[in-house]
Amino acid sequence: MNTAIAVIGGTGRVGRIVTRKLLDRGESVRVIGRSAERARRHLPPRAQFFLGDVRDPASLLTPLHGCSAVVYTVESGTDTTGPDSPQSTLHAGVINTLDALLRPDDPMPAQFVLVSQRHVTHSEHPMNAYGRMLDWRLAGENAVRASGLPYTIVRPGWLTDRTELADDGRVLLEQGDRRDGYVALQDVAEACVQALYCPSAQGLTFEMRGGAGAPPEDWEGLFGGLSADVPPQALALAPAPGPAPVRALA
Ligand SMILES: NC(=O)c1ccc[n+]([C@@H]2O[C@H](COP(=O)([O-])OP(=O)(O)OC[C@H]3O[C@@H](n4cnc5c(N)ncnc54)[C@H](OP(=O)(O)O)[C@@H]3O)[C@@H](O)[C@H]2O)c1
């Protein structure tokens, strides 16, 4: 890439692998997060760290200015309302990031890679009881799809560390949001990085599952075997959810 790549959530489990992989490719990487201490602990010195919070639009302007790409891999809290709710990080945070990227003084459109999750299209799923996490994630996805920026949306299943399971290295990319499954952090990070370099990844939304498919060697071919999203103008995007209903978590 000609200019820097931003990794929002780059101090987290997936984000720090993404960051290292991009640095290994010789990229200039700007990590955005809320904790300088976490950055010191987890990031190699070559990564540039910027204190920023996706809930605070002003904090994103400097680190995102002039970036050619963004990987958004932010974890949310599970409060139904308030600053740590999924609404604030998985929807408002995505919008704030898009707004910063789409400012007229920014020279070129940035690529957007969003880490989402399986089950976002199933609002009846038990995980949605936690602050309507799935509804807000889907609203964040929809904002990216409608932004006009080149994008890829990655929906992992349960994240595992490769060392935690007998992982045979196989990965399946699938669409339709019908299955469950786990996937290694390392494979999700690699998919995010590959999405930045493979033209066939643009305009895709897909789920990832480990222990099925094949060892991913030809990412361009893997992405190319998926169906591109229907263009937003033809897509009936679900409206952002309204106020959260009172809902028992048990
Ligand atoms: N856990 C699973 O099984 C699972 C399954 C599917 C999808 N996912 C999703 O995969 C993504 C990556 O997960 P992970 O395990 O790598 O997450 P993680 O280790 O918890 O890292 C999350 C990152 O988000 C940053 N962050 C949180 N709130 C922020 C804010 N308001 N502004 C800026 N940065 C913020 C954190 O940094 P600071 O706190 O220092 O700001 C951290 O770097 C997340 O979106 C997660 O929800 C997880």
54-66 pLDDT, tens digit each: 999 999 999 999 9
Tell me the Ramachandran region of residue 172: left when phi exceeds 0, alpha when psi lies from -120 to 50, beta otherwise. Answer: beta
The predicted pLDDT at position 65 comes to 94
Banded pLDDT at 17 (limits 50, 70, 90): very high
Percent with pLDDT over 90 in the chain: 79
> In CATH, what is the architecture of 5-234?
3-Layer(aba) Sandwich (3.40)
φ/ψ of residue 181, rounded to 5: 150, 170
CB atoms inside a 10 Å sphere around CB 244:
16
CA distances from 104 to 58, 99, 127, 151 (A): 15, 10, 38, 19
Paired residues of 204 in beta bridges? 152
Mean pLDDT of the region 119-131: 95
CA of 153 to the centre of ligand 1 (A): 15
CA of 76 to the centre of ligand 1 (A): 6
Q: Helix, strand, or coil here: 165?
A: coil
Banded pLDDT at 245 (limits 50, 70, 90): very low
The predicted pLDDT at position 247 comes to 37
| Strongest mean pLDDT among 116-125, 163-172, 230-239 | 116-125
> What residues contact residue 45 under an 8 Å CB cut-off, 6+ apart?
none
The Cα–Cα gap between 199 and 114 comes to 16
CA of 23 to the centre of ligand 1 (A): 20
| The pair of three-digit structure tokens given for residue 214, joined into one six-digit string | 């094949």
Atom 47 in ligand 1: residue holding the nearest Cα: 75
The Cα–Cα gap between 184 and 194 comes to 15
- CB 135 near ligand 1, within 6 Å: no
The predicted pLDDT at position 232 comes to 64
What residue spans define the domains of the chain?
5-234
Give the H or E element holding residue 48: strand 48-51
- CB 216 near ligand 1, within 6 Å: no
146-195 pLDDT, tens digit each: 999 999 999 999 999 877 666 788 999 999 999 999 999 999 999 999 99
| The pair of three-digit structure tokens given for residue 222, joined into one six-digit string | 């893997």
